[in-house]
Structure 1
């Protein structure tokens, strides 16, 4: 019963985030909800690093690094939470950060999406990450 509640919460969070921005969610929910953390990082990190012109190593750095890398990491944490439906605690574990740091990143990115250019950029990243994770699910034979 607890697992069902968790799945419902994740789907509700995805739907809320999508409707808040006036768009339908692009996430292929079946595999994303069960995706191993390695697949999430494998999908998110290269996409975010390419878009923000930072090294993947900077995204995974235990220190803040440059402001550009810190912002890119905040976007990556936001994507893990919103697109992948991971809890703040799970995202914190995934990125080796505290859940309050993840919450701050999500608030910051959601507020920054008021800029139309950044909003389009993040929308493209949402689609790319969801598609990559969906492809990982197909590769593993987990997608129907």
Structure 2
């Protein structure tokens, strides 16, 4: 999350925010949540807790920096559950989400430059993926070491 926000360079941008619905906003990012090989039935408690915390943080601190969120390789049964949950979510939030069972369909939504695993012509995830490195600060604080992470290019 922090690396994505850093890549938007919001503190140094000179590009104005475009009028609402009049073109893409260069100050927004998209997220891809890939559930390949993730078990929804046997998910460890710490994974669930981390996912919920990440959603809370993004919602509380970065609500206008997300243009779209793609959930790929989601089992069909989970798509039905997400569909039922939409009733309780804000329309604006639901409009930013797209669920799909097959990751190779993603290129239809974000373009052909996306990674090969997502049906695009771009480099594979092994080549462009990011593994954030974390440093412990004082008093249990953890920060992302941006210099140690590779840049993401989907």
Normalised by the length of structure 1, the TM-score is 0.33
Higher relative contact order (CA 8 A, sep 6+): 1
Larger radius of gyration between Structure 1 and Structure 2: 2
Q: Which has the higher helix share?
A: 1
Normalised by the length of structure 2, the TM-score is 0.31
